[in-house]
Amino acid sequence: MRRRVLQAAILAISIAGVASPALSADAYENLYDVGPLTPQNVFEGWYLGGTLGGATVNYDFSPATGDVHTSGFLGGVIGGWSYQSGPFVIGIEGDILAADIDGGRNFNNGLNRVTASIDTMADLRLRAGFTVTQRVLLYGTFGGAWANADLNVTGPGGGVRERDFFGWSYGAGAEVSLSTDWAARFDYQFTDFESETVRFPGGQTTFDPDANTFRGSLIYRF
């Protein structure tokens, strides 16, 4: 699974790289050329890039008491479009991520153990913010999210199930324009997934996950 995250990160960085002009002296200079930026064009247009970070996902697990705490890494591709009017920026963006977020706990007096693992995540969000300087944007996001998880209960009456979780995500971040084309950002997202009831041979259980993600991204604006 960690190999999948590493592959996703390499793919994301590659995509960000090929989005720029062919590697040459001119392309190298363009990365560091600040150019004739104005408050109206710094954060406007289509963009694509790579993102990498960490996450924690806590599952409210019943009928047993106590949460299932999981953590791990994620990485993938982010893209979207923004419109800028003076200091105000609004747009839409989405991403698809490979992940390795897992963990577990014992229950039923140690006779059983539950583990949960998310290997893929995605979301589609609105983004709105304002520039505190010409090159620094503060923003908030809100939208829908999806995650695919493997749920495993070992011991009497256990089994393995795969489930899709859907929910709402909101967060905030900061983006810094590095040149006319390139920008770097850091953001935080909280996602409240809907609960899923899963049937195992020994009975049914309910998983209700909440996710916290922290990510850094490098993007190329077309």
The per-residue pLDDT for range 40-67, each reduced to its tens digit, is 579 999 999 999 999 999 999 887 767 9
The torsion angle over the Cα atoms of residues 31, 33, 36 and 37, rounded to 10 degrees, is 50
pLDDT 10s digits, 139-189: 999 999 999 999 999 999 999 999 999 999 999 999 999 998 999 999 999
Neighbours of 157 (CB within 10 A): 12
Structural domains of the chain, ranges and CATH numbers in brackets: 2-221 (2.40.160.20)
From the list 60, 103, 92, 15, the residue with the least C-alpha distance to 205 is 60
Write the CB contacts of 44 (distance below 8 Å, at least 6 apart in sequence).
82, 83, 84, 89
**pTM of the model as a whole:** 0.80
User: What's the residue count for the chain?
Assistant: 222
